[in-house]
Structure 1
Amino acid sequence: MKAFGPFLFFFILCYQVIFAQQHPSTLQGTITNDKNEPLEGVTVAVNNRLTTKSNDQGKFALSFPPGTYQLTFRFVGYNTEQVSVEIFQDVSKELTIALSPTNETLQSVEVIGRKESSYKNTNSFSGTKTATPIKEIPQSISYVTKETLDDQLAFKTSDAIKNVSGVNQYSYNNNDFVLRGFRASNTLVNGLRISTRGWAQNLLPYVERIEVIKGPASALFANTDPGGTINTVTKKPLDETRRSINFTTGSYNTYRTTLDFTGPLTENKNLLYRLNLAYQNAESFRMLQDGTAMVIAPSFSFIPNERTRINFDLVYQYNKGRLDRGQPIFGASQGTDLYSTPTSFAIGRKNDYQKELNLFSTISLQHQFTDNISFNASYLKSYYDEDLLEHRTSNNYGVDKEGNQIPTLMGMQTIRRLRKNYIDNLTTYFNFNFNTGPLAHKLLVGYDYIQEVFPKGNSTYNANGFLSRDGKSTISTYKPADSAKYMIVNNMPVPNVPYFNLANPDYSISEISNYLNVSREETPTKYYVNGIYLQEQLKWGKWQALLGFRQEFYTDILNYTKENEEKVEQKAFIPRVGLVYTPLEPVSFYATYTEGYQPQSAGTIGDPETYGGPFDPLISNMIEAGAKMEFFHKNLAINTAFYRIEQNNILVNANAEGNPDLLRQIGQQQAKGIELDIYGNVHPNFSVTANFSYNVAKITKSDDAEEVGTIMPNAPKSQGNLWMKYAFTGQTLEGFALALGANYATRRNTDTDILKLPAYWVANAALFYRIDKFKLSVNMNNLLNKVYWVGGFDYVRLFPGAPRNYMLSLGYTF
């Protein structure tokens, strides 16, 4: 808890700044619909900067110095209104605003873009596959909105995920996170499965928000992770014209441009578009980690009538750089000195490269048969392509003839790899809304199909091991008792790929054809899932219940593409039960029980030479309870959760010398913890997003008795984040805003028992200035230049955080 002290200091400081300012003039108003009924939750924006919302009586209030202000009123299902008002010294003013409805209702799938413009998000589609207020979902759902991403100048997933409670990085790799103590392996886009084979992290310029569904979500999304599922929601078209261009530069020779254009293509607004473009060229504090990234993401929404909506999304993401396997340090014989090499230190060669293409497209349809019956269908096609050359560690240190470790020489291998894979994901479901006496029903009946193919033709060209005595062949590992079989020079067995000297690194070009290489076709795999599910949301007065189940049929094809091809079929019944009680409108209490089922992937069980096995499926369950609250006219959300998650048949790294990918299965892991998330506005000028978690994730059953009670790798017992932004008003500071923040994590284990990562806390800040349509921001990260590690595997693969760095951004909205 000591690490949380800086958060409290920053919070108190900003709180005092807020109320030190005087706001002598008040603007009050009432917002109604065309029937003169009050509208609750209407967003009121002042000069497109300060925001508040109307209360349950349609009323709002704002205070600011004298001047002329442009007020914008936005509410889903109603046309946006703009009003210019002039405020005089010590004079209160009242407005009455009537919003006219559009032909749009709250969609049951996310077709039209979110119009909220704060750190708070009200509804979620992923929690129940229906448009449901988050406070009515009996499960914890954390999120990061695009407004938070923009203010923090976040560009990739790891930049954003620190804003989510209970989530920690495992490595630099794509979607390699720990959620409530469990390592993640799956990710969703708009609730649909995409490929996770890539290394480079997903980029964010096309992202509306990132949601994390805490705990098992298999009842809705098939084989998902027990700690939670990360769902990326892409930006959708808006029915009003908005255009923005942003230029960013900063530390490590970073150059970045993003564009976001949206609006109607037709006068009657039945065809909408959105186009997000981004390009970045940047180096890194890590050696040789320069690269480029590009995003092209068009989206179209077609609304031919009030009952039918069709949406198309395409995201093209290209990364070119090098694969960063992490920071190596001197071997165990030198102790566990994390500082034996600088955090910028990496292994590789100048001619290494990594080229990755991620491409996915989504087509979704919503049709309203009647006021109470609707049909939804979405299809996603995901494609991943990799072209890789790397000099990487073989996960061990050099040895002399007697087998003694040489802690400054790193064993090496080279990999030349070409591969691709495809995922198809179809989801269809009907919604039935009806009443039976006092009970209100929202019944969902659906079918899913998921297929992943790792096709024939993927191949690697690999060099490793030690040279035989005659130098014409290789031996995978060195055995001192058989030293006569090896080529020995200077009392050392000669490796096929020369050692990397940690004390005197060489990053020059190295031609891999000089080594003894083995070309190997990677094992082609295929699996597919058929799932049917039913979900009932019952509402009776202040009580709501969620009852659901999924019947899943999982088929894995062994020996795929071969004559002896064989189907291995598994099935599982996955229940989900939840209860919500709302004693007062702003407060709800909930409890839930849900189960998870996750067969081992075809790539893992289909390649026992690399990963080991065969392995049993992962079975999990979760009990969770909590409270969800809204304050300050629903502008601020505070969510708490208490949980226990249990998973059986976990896979962990075997730490096998010479085979860094080998896995082993242990008995049971259990996580217990509490979480707190805060989002939104304390005051129209003061925005905040904060989170805190305490989680104990440990092994509770294992064939190795010494492992029982061990905390799982990269799962801190406590972690948190705070980001606060205050927008100044008044003639002197009008247009300026200040943000302060910090994030921390306590000590963590790695995959190696004797190597621990130290606790850390990092301070961040930003200064903004907005004038007319321009926004200038300066972001400083790691203000105190702390040395820290976000995650790590072992001595040869640690993942340090960036030193002090800055970003300067200029945006123009028109």
Structure 2
Amino acid sequence: MANSSAQAQTTGSIRGRVTTTDGEPVEAVSVGLQGQAFGNITDSQGHFTISNVPAGSYTVAVSAVGLKAAQQSVTVTAGQRTTLDFRLVESAAELKEVIVQGARTNKFNRPSSEYVGKMPLRNLENPQVYATVGKELLTEQLVFTADDATRNVPGLQKMWDATGRGGDGGGFYSSRGFILSSQLRNGVAGNVTSDIDAINLEKLEVIKGPSGTLFGSALTSYGGLMNRVTKKPLDTFGGEVTVAGGSYSFHRVSADVNLVDTNAPADQPKTLAFRLNTAYTYEDSYQTRGYTGFNKNLAVAPSLQWRPNDRLTVNLDAEIYKGSGTGKQIFFFYYPSAALGFDRADKAPLDYRQSYTGPGLVQDSRSTNLFGQVQYRISPVLTSTTYLTSSHSFSNGNGPYFYLLPDAVATGFSTLPAQSNFLARADQSTQNSRRQLFEVQQLFNGDFQLGRLRNRVVLGLDFLRVDSDVHFLGGDIDVVPLANAMPGFNYRTGFDGSVVAARYAAQAPGNYIVNTKSNTYSAFASDVLNLTEQLSVLAAVRVDHIDNKGGLYYSPVEAYTQTVVSPKFGVVFQPVKDRVALFANYQNSFNNLGVYLNPDGNTQIARPERANQWEGGVKLDAAGGRLSATVSYYDIYVKDRLRNVGYNAARAFRSIDVQDANQRSKGVDVSVVANPVRGFNVVAGFGYNDSKFETLDETVNGRRPNTASSPIVANAWLSYRQPAGALQGLGLGFGGNYANENRVQNTNTNVFTLPSYTVLNASVFYDQPKYRLSAKVDNLTDKQYWTGYTTMNPQKLRSIVGSVAYKF
């Protein structure tokens, strides 16, 4: 403490904000003291802080691509905070590649992240590929959930809507041929099992490829991870209240309110600030024939920030989600699709607008995330950040689902031709199901010179506890004819809440219990070393020690311990500094498979399943920041997967496995975020993935996994906003998503295909300082299309929503 007090008596700090001439914040620009080692980069709001500056006079310099460099003189007084703001104008020399007027308006581009590399890094400096969807794009598109925000991520395809089930109910997506879900919030554990409201979303980061080195394996996949970055308290009082309504009885009320310490000087950062984001949403199902299901959700997200001095910042916040509703219709294939008489979703004898359930099949769900962050600047070059997070999910209620039944199975007559005119209706309820995660993570970030070499280092310690107590129960309820077999059949009867409850009372349902606990102890380190101003290398390593306590996973599973090492390497060369970057990376991740039963009837601990990725490409930040683009080629090889070869009757028909399966997944990712002319913005992406099994199982060897999604996906959004004149603030947007055919069943004897689709969306808005009027149309052409995670899931038809927001 004595050293800290002495330092405070001889040093001061500089804080400020960097904006453009029209008041827009400038993110990820360098702010430094000329001739000194002190400096920092601006955050997403343009704020910067340079701490522990010795008392004296300095010149503060700011530089950014496409903007004229600026300098100001400043005198630092010991024990005092000096405020220094910059308003940057565009450089004609930097922008000679295109003819433009006005300030920088590539508003959808987020050029840096402090989470992707566990340290502040500009995208051009990072050898890893990632995509960012900011709140500006979500506001323009009238996107209300983080799940819908993913339609702006190149190479990502939604597979399964969130079900709300405690433990596993979140939405599922495919990236680079592998399934992932949203389980990270601000870089640490923060799972939500229902639809994730976007009211608290500052930006959504989707990091591509196996990322076990910095994020471990428990919350990520080989395709990557999704990280939700939440809104933080601001230094000014203000907020926004929004009311929206539209198709299928949709209505929503939301608020974003920021409160500050009014006793602090107006021109100084506030010591204490509080922000509350909350929203209530209700919507009926688009399936309006028969019983119309519903979903209602409440989201409450308070956030408190305390900054007693320049060196210490404490953030405390929470996410509380409460939902109730009926599940979306999901159709499984428990019998070979070859026995159904059709092999495509658009040929199925199903009524797209028909609800095959009755009333009362309702599930209640809750997700609660508690989050704490303490950041302390130990010295001008070293910062300590401590995270504590607690994540809870809960559900109770019904989970209806369906499977198509071949006529021969439904009637018992094996001589009938292959066709499906029957539907089996079933339920898998959850009964007070819970999953809890607790994580403590300690980071030490350094940014210092060793000779002439700049080092940006992160050292991390992590503890993650996962505690599952999930109780599934249910079974088949009835078999009903489909519409083409018996027109006018009343699907409201026979499968509703009272019928299911009576069935369970008369005959005990099947029970499926997941009750497991595991602790993971981790240490990791990463260093970005600048060999020259244009060449940098990255090296990182992680050591995980897994202590799995075992328990029940439908049947008893043995406890085990295992230690895994995960390395990572990368290189970035900028032939044109701050504009063009050539990059390559090697990334690694793993999956602990636990104990399995081998063909000899003995149990053994499986080797960790590993994924290794090699990737290379180019990143651009050209035309004065108006063009940001990434093109990459990747090759991921997964080895030591378990393969089922039968069941052991002597051990309650436990699965018999061998560890000899592999998978290769390779492809191309393309991302473009551009502002070609004033007021016009473009977001576009393309992903191609070629994924194949390499296994001794000839039924799937050489074939695309049925969980790998469509091989080709693309997204685009074109936006124009009138930048000046009488109609300033008036804008419109248009775009959509494309996916080619997806084989959700894919063996040498059984193929079932979800057809390709193009879904178009549009929006119009009028944005003013005190209010915003907006409207959108999703699925503009009323397209019937399906997604699926080994299933066929019909998606929502055309919907129209209008919104009015008041700003204060």
TM-score higher than 0.5: yes
Q: What is residue 233 of structure 2 aligned with on the other side?
A: 237
1:41-60 pair list within 5 angstroms: 42-45=19-22
- 2:625 equivalent among 634, 643, 652: 634
**Deviation of the 1:133 alpha carbon:** 1.1
Q: What is residue 718 of structure 1 aligned with on the other side?
A: 712
**Deviation of the 1:663 alpha carbon:** 11
- Partner Cα separation in structure 1 for residue 547 and residue 70 of structure 2: 61
Answer yes or no: is the 8 Å Cα contact 1:702–1:708 preserved in 2. Answer: no
- Partner Cα separation in structure 1 for residue 613 and residue 69 of structure 2: 49
**Deviation of the 1:528 alpha carbon:** 1.2
- Partner Cα separation in structure 1 for residue 473 and residue 671 of structure 2: 47
| Amino acid paired to 1:637 | S
- 1:302 and 2:303 equivalent? no
- 1:272 and 2:273 equivalent? yes
**Deviation of the 1:349 alpha carbon:** 2.8
**Deviation of the 1:672 alpha carbon:** 1.3
- 1:780 and 2:777 equivalent? yes
Answer yes or no: is the 8 Å Cα contact 1:77–1:105 preserved in 2. Answer: no
- 1:413 and 2:426 equivalent? yes
- 1:501 equivalent among 463, 481, 500: 481
**Deviation of the 1:393 alpha carbon:** 3.0
Q: What is residue 531 of structure 1 aligned with on the other side?
A: 522
- Partner Cα separation in structure 1 for residue 29 and residue 387 of structure 2: 35
CA-to-aligned-CA distance 1:25-68 (integer Å, 9 cap, x gap):
xxxxxxxxxxxx9x99744436x7xx98999999xxxxxxxxxx
CA-to-aligned-CA distance 1:141-175 (integer Å, 9 cap, x gap):
11111111111111223311111111112222323
- Partner Cα separation in structure 2 for residue 337 and residue 651 of structure 1: 30
Answer yes or no: is the 8 Å Cα contact 1:728–1:735 preserved in 2. Answer: yes
- 1:293 and 2:297 equivalent? yes
Answer yes or no: is the 8 Å Cα contact 1:43–1:53 preserved in 2. Answer: no
Q: What is residue 284 of structure 1 aligned with on the other side?
A: 285
- 1:209 and 2:186 equivalent? no
- Partner Cα separation in structure 2 for residue 45 and residue 586 of structure 1: 24
Answer yes or no: is the 8 Å Cα contact 1:463–1:516 preserved in 2. Answer: no
3-state SS, counterpart of residue 343 of structure 1 = coil
| Amino acid paired to 1:380 | T
**Deviation of the 1:412 alpha carbon:** 3.4
- Partner Cα separation in structure 2 for residue 261 and residue 635 of structure 1: 32
Gap change, CA 1:357 and 1:54, over 3 Å in 2: closer
3-state SS, counterpart of residue 421 of structure 2 = strand
- Partner Cα separation in structure 1 for residue 491 and residue 455 of structure 2: 67
| Amino acid paired to 2:616 | A
**TM-score (ref. length: structure 1):** 0.77
- 1:188 and 2:184 equivalent? yes
Q: What is residue 113 of structure 2 aligned with on the other side?
A: 124
- Partner Cα separation in structure 2 for residue 186 and residue 626 of structure 1: 26
Task: Report which stretch shifted further, 719-728 or 708-717.
Answer: 708-717
**Deviation of the 1:650 alpha carbon:** 4.8
**Deviation of the 1:182 alpha carbon:** 0.7
Q: What is residue 6 of structure 1 aligned with on the other side?
A: none
- Partner Cα separation in structure 1 for residue 82 and residue 324 of structure 2: 45
Answer yes or no: is the 8 Å Cα contact 1:291–1:319 preserved in 2. Answer: yes
| Amino acid paired to 1:283 | D
Gap change, CA 1:276 and 1:366, over 3 Å in 2: same
Gap change, CA 1:252 and 1:361, over 3 Å in 2: same
Number of aligned residue pairs: give it: 687
- 1:370 equivalent among 363, 379, 391: 379
**Deviation of the 1:406 alpha carbon:** 7.2
Q: What is residue 24 of structure 1 aligned with on the other side?
A: none
- 1:550 and 2:542 equivalent? yes
Answer yes or no: is the 8 Å Cα contact 1:361–1:380 preserved in 2. Answer: yes
**Deviation of the 1:772 alpha carbon:** 4.5
Answer yes or no: is the 8 Å Cα contact 2:329–2:794 preserved in 1. Answer: no
Gap change, CA 1:430 and 1:798, over 3 Å in 2: same
- Partner Cα separation in structure 2 for residue 653 and residue 325 of structure 1: 29
Answer yes or no: is the 8 Å Cα contact 1:459–1:519 preserved in 2. Answer: no
**TM-score (ref. length: structure 2):** 0.78
Q: What is residue 401 of structure 1 aligned with on the other side?
A: 412
Answer yes or no: is the 8 Å Cα contact 1:44–1:74 preserved in 2. Answer: no
Answer yes or no: is the 8 Å Cα contact 2:609–2:638 preserved in 1. Answer: yes
CA-to-aligned-CA distance 1:481-509 (integer Å, 9 cap, x gap):
xxxxxxxxxxxxxxxx3213322352233
Answer yes or no: is the 8 Å Cα contact 1:697–1:715 preserved in 2. Answer: no
3-state SS, counterpart of residue 407 of structure 1 = coil
1:77-88 pair list within 5 angstroms: 77=48
3-state SS, counterpart of residue 307 of structure 2 = strand
RMSD over aligned Cα atoms:
3.8
- 1:595 equivalent among 572, 580, 588: 588
- Partner Cα separation in structure 2 for residue 99 and residue 333 of structure 1: 78
- Partner Cα separation in structure 1 for residue 128 and residue 367 of structure 2: 31
- Partner Cα separation in structure 2 for residue 635 and residue 553 of structure 1: 45
| Amino acid paired to 1:442 | R
- Partner Cα separation in structure 2 for residue 750 and residue 569 of structure 1: 35
3-state SS, counterpart of residue 160 of structure 1 = helix
3-state SS, counterpart of residue 399 of structure 2 = strand
- 2:743 equivalent among 733, 740, 749: 749
* Poorly superposed stretches of 4+, deviation over 6 Å: 51-58, 94-106, 328-331, 612-615, 651-656, 661-666
Gap change, CA 1:783 and 1:52, over 3 Å in 2: farther
- 1:334 equivalent among 332, 341, 344: 341
- Partner Cα separation in structure 2 for residue 251 and residue 308 of structure 1: 48
Gap change, CA 1:620 and 1:353, over 3 Å in 2: same
Gap change, CA 1:577 and 1:728, over 3 Å in 2: same
3-state SS, counterpart of residue 296 of structure 2 = strand
Gap change, CA 1:53 and 1:778, over 3 Å in 2: same
| Amino acid paired to 2:807 | T
- Partner Cα separation in structure 1 for residue 523 and residue 27 of structure 2: 40
CA-to-aligned-CA distance 1:514-554 (integer Å, 9 cap, x gap):
35123647241101111111111111221111101001111
- Partner Cα separation in structure 1 for residue 73 and residue 656 of structure 2: 60
Answer yes or no: is the 8 Å Cα contact 1:700–1:708 preserved in 2. Answer: yes
3-state SS, counterpart of residue 45 of structure 1 = coil
CA-to-aligned-CA distance 1:629-677 (integer Å, 9 cap, x gap):
1134224321221111112345799999xxxx99988712211111111
Q: Percent identity?
A: 22
Gap change, CA 1:76 and 1:412, over 3 Å in 2: same
- Partner Cα separation in structure 2 for residue 99 and residue 356 of structure 1: 56
Answer yes or no: is the 8 Å Cα contact 1:219–1:550 preserved in 2. Answer: yes
- 2:508 equivalent among 513, 517, 538: 517
- 1:462 and 2:458 equivalent? no
Q: What is residue 703 of structure 1 aligned with on the other side?
A: 697
**Deviation of the 1:323 alpha carbon:** 2.0
3-state SS, counterpart of residue 547 of structure 1 = strand
Answer yes or no: is the 8 Å Cα contact 2:202–2:229 preserved in 1. Answer: yes
- 1:690 and 2:669 equivalent? no
| Amino acid paired to 1:462 | G
Where does the alignment leave 5 or more consecutive residues of structure 2 unmatched?
Answer: 1-13, 33-43, 51-67, 86-103, 163-169, 265-269, 484-488, 598-602, 648-653
Gap change, CA 1:601 and 1:292, over 3 Å in 2: farther
**Deviation of the 1:583 alpha carbon:** 2.1
Where does the alignment leave 5 or more consecutive residues of structure 1 unmatched?
Answer: 1-36, 59-72, 80-93, 107-114, 465-496, 607-611
Gap change, CA 1:439 and 1:172, over 3 Å in 2: same
- Partner Cα separation in structure 1 for residue 201 and residue 183 of structure 2: 14
- 2:439 equivalent among 419, 425, 444: 425
- 1:350 and 2:372 equivalent? no
Q: What is residue 109 of structure 1 aligned with on the other side?
A: none
- Partner Cα separation in structure 1 for residue 548 and residue 29 of structure 2: 53
Gap change, CA 1:768 and 1:98, over 3 Å in 2: farther
CA-to-aligned-CA distance 1:323-358 (integer Å, 9 cap, x gap):
224257997433235342233344433110111100
Answer yes or no: is the 8 Å Cα contact 1:324–1:346 preserved in 2. Answer: no
- Partner Cα separation in structure 2 for residue 629 and residue 104 of structure 1: 33
| Amino acid paired to 1:180 | R
- Partner Cα separation in structure 2 for residue 40 and residue 702 of structure 1: 60
- Partner Cα separation in structure 2 for residue 428 and residue 133 of structure 1: 23
